[in-house]
Amino acid sequence: MDSLYHRLGDEAFERLVAGFYARVKNDDILSPMYPHDDWEGAQWRLRAFLTQYWGGPKDYSLQRGHPRLRMRHAQFPIDHAAASRWLELMEASLSDIEEAIISDADRAALRDHWQRAAAMLINKF
What's the pLDDT at 35? 85
Q: How would you write the pLDDT of the chain (125 residues) with one tens digit per residue?
A: 689 999 999 999 999 999 999 999 999 999 999 988 999 999 999 999 999 999 999 999 999 999 999 999 999 999 999 999 999 999 999 999 999 999 999 999 999 999 999 999 999 99
What's the pLDDT at 116? 97
* Domains located in the chain, CATH noted: 4-121 (1.10.490.10)
Phi and psi (nearest 5°) for 38?
-145, 45
CA distance 102 to 114: 16
